[in-house]
């Protein structure tokens, strides 16, 4: 018997039959690691098993009425809803958006049904009478189907011919995904990717992990080993499953479709079952705290972004079959009272990193500057030094600079984790209208005469325009110009910045002599 069914049977024996919604919240302290979450635990139902979650909605199978029904709890409204009322058994729910799917034996057979929360209508998706374990993403529903030779007797699944099928709600079309004459079971779907476990290789009692891409119509063997691989789940490009190594030890494996070399979780302990994945987080049922005769299975989580493992549950009873969506993890629970529980993850502040921007960063006096805090790490206090003797404790202050100059600005931010400071040197430039001035060397000599002009202007000009008196100009700050003809030359310099412009003219400033004829530019020009 496969591990997930064994755990499921254990849970059933422990499930409470009390009809009561009782919410308890307990916060477990974060570990010494800065990236460990604060865990808030909430009881959703006192009976039920096999939970699934999407957004604010949790669904599960529940036997409180003497048969198995599908129930839903909406976290936003704190309201529980009974989805199915048929006296037969409805089990294995999955949810996406407003749609809930499950397998149902109300007609003496097993078919897939769907309930639309927006229309409050129930629909029958399949008619083959041998359909189990549905999953849904968007308009697509997948399931395992025994119409081609599969037996509803679970002990004979591996020896039958179960296939993976899909139904597209947008086109009302059913597709057979697998055609191999062996067993393909336990599918999952994310966007265009469908994954399942498959026993086509070597013998019918060893399963590998396969994937089908609806966009390329290509089937791929993701993981093939000597021993067992079961219960794949997919989110994004990551596929997770449990792997039995032939020695009775179970681990969680991961494969990244777009990054095959990405390392998955590593385990010191070897009883890990029934994984689920969302984003960077993998959750699973963990038996490291159990021993013979003890059902102390817990929920653990591994964060791929931080390479850290977190124990989600600590109660000394059974917690298993987790599902995850965002910061919420749900599972079936065997404590008294048992039922469906949820953990909500939250993270305290990290050490802040100071940063800021300003607008404008330059201009004429008086200059009003709007400073904007762009720090990360959720700071709770701010200290600004504007470089002119002024300060502020606002997050986003405005400051007026009244004097010309270059100002160095610093920001110090703090939160419960500590403080951080950033300094930007000469960040704010306050200017006034420039006053033009210049020098030159040499100012006289024989042609050809090369003259170096030097800007001596005040007021921080940003643009220069030189007229050398011989019909040529330059926009350099400190140009060099060559005179080739005799003459006395008038030099003009215009400087400007954001505050305005100023011009200076020096007549007969450059005197050029030569033995050749006089130049056309003379002192009386």
Per-residue pLDDT, 459: 84
If we measure between CA atoms, which residue out of 83, 101, 81 comes closest to residue 92? 101
Buried residues in 313-334 as b, exposed as e (16+ CB within 10 A): beeebbbbbbbbbeebbbbbbb
Percent helix / strand / coil, the chain, rounded to 5:
5, 55, 45
Per-residue pLDDT, 417: 87
Q: How far is CA 516 from CA 175, 490, 524, in A?
A: 98, 21, 19
**CATH architecture classification, 438-513:** Sandwich (2.60)
Per-residue pLDDT, 517: 52
Per-residue pLDDT, 9: 38
Determine how many CB atoms are found less than 10 A away from the CB of residue 387.
20
Does residue 264 contact residue 224 with C-beta atoms inside 8 Å?
A: no
CB within 8 Å of 362: residues ≥ 6 apart: 428, 429, 430, 431, 498
3-8+52-71+87-304 and 438-513: identical CATH topology: no
356-431 domain in CATH 2.60.40.10? yes
Per-residue pLDDT, 269: 63
Does residue 283 contact residue 301 with C-beta atoms inside 8 Å?
A: yes
Show me where the domains of the chain are located: 3-8+52-71+87-304, 356-431, 438-513
Does residue 319 contact residue 334 with C-beta atoms inside 8 Å?
A: yes
Per-residue pLDDT in tens (0 to 9) along the chain, 525 residues:
333 433 333 333 333 333 333 333 333 333 334 467 899 999 999 999 999 999 999 999 999 999 999 999 999 999 999 999 999 999 999 999 999 999 999 888 999 999 999 999 999 999 999 999 999 999 999 999 999 988 888 777 777 899 999 999 999 999 999 999 889 999 999 999 999 999 988 665 688 999 999 999 999 999 987 778 999 999 999 999 999 877 778 899 999 999 998 887 776 666 789 999 999 999 999 998 887 667 889 999 999 999 999 999 999 999 999 999 999 999 999 998 789 999 999 987 788 999 999 999 998 889 999 999 999 989 999 999 999 999 999 999 999 999 989 999 999 999 988 999 999 999 999 988 999 999 999 999 999 999 999 999 998 899 999 999 999 999 999 999 999 999 999 999 999 988 899 999 999 999 999 865 544 444 443
CATH code, 3-8+52-71+87-304:
2.120.10.30
Does residue 494 contact residue 436 with C-beta atoms inside 8 Å?
A: yes
């Amino acid at each position: 018997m496969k591990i997930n069914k064994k755990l499921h049977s254990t849970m059933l024996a422990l499930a409470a039959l009390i009809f009561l919604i009782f919410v308890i919240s307990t916060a477990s302290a974060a570990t010494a690691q800065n990236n460990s979450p604060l865990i808030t635990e909430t009881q959703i139902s006192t009976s039920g098993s096999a939970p699934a979650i999407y957004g604010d909605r949790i669904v599960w199978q529940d036997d409180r009425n003497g048969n198995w029904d599908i129930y839903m709890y909406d976290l936003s409204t704190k309201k529980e809803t009974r989805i199915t009322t048929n006296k037969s058994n409805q089990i294995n729910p999955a949810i996406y958006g407003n749609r809930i799917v499950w397998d149902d034996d109300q007609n003496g057979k097993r078919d897939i049904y769907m309930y639309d929360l927006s229309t409050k209508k129930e629909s029958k998706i399949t008619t083959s009478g041998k359909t189990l374990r549905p999953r849904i993403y968007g308009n697509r529903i997948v399931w395992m189907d025994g119409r081609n030779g599969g037996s509803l007797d679970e002990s004979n699944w591996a020896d039958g011919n179960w296939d993976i099928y899909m139904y597209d709600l947008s086109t009302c079309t059913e597709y057979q995904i697998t055609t191999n004459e062996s067993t393909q079971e336990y599918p999952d779907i994310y966007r265009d990717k469908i994954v399942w476990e498959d026993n086509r290789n070597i013998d019918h009692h060893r399963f590998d992990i396969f994937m089908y891409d609806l966009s390329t119509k290509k089937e791929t063997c993701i993981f093939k080993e000597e021993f067992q691989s079961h219960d794949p789940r997919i989110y994004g490009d990551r596929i997770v499953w449990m792997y039995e190594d032939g020695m009775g030890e179970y681990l969680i494996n991961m494969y990244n479709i777009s990054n095959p070399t990405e390392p998955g979780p590593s385990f010191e302990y070897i009883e890990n079952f029934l994984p689920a994945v969302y984003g960077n987080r993998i959750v699973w049922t963990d038996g490291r705290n159990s021993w013979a005769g003890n059902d102390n299975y817990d929920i653990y989580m591994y964060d791929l972004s931080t390479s850290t493992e977190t124990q989600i549950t600590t109660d000394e009873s059974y917690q298993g079959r987790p599902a995850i969506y965002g910061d919420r993890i749900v599972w079936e629970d065997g404590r008294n009272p048992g039922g469906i529980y949820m953990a909500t993850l939250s993270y305290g502040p990290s050490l802040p990193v100071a940063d800021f921007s300003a607008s404008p960063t330059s201009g004429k006096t008086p200059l009003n500057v709007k400073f904007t805090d762009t720090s990360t790490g959720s700071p709770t206090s701010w200290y600004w030094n504007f470089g002119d003797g002024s300060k502020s404790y606002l997050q986003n202050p405005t400051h007026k600079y009244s004097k010309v100059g270059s100002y160095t600005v610093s920001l110090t931010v703090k939160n419960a984790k500590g403080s951080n400071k950033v300094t930007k040197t000469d960040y704010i430039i306050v200017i006034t209208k420039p006053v033009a001035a210049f020098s030159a060397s040499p100012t006289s000599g024989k042609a050809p005469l090369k003259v170096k002009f030097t800007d001596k202007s005040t007021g921080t000009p940003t643009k220069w325009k030189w007229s050398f008196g011989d019909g040529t100009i330059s926009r350099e700050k400190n140009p060099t110009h060559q005179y080739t003809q005799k003459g006395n030359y008038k030099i003009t310099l215009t400087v400007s910045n954001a505050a305005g412009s100023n011009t200076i003219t020096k007549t007969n400033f450059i005197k050029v002599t030569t033995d050749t004829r006089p130049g056309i530019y003379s002192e009386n020009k």
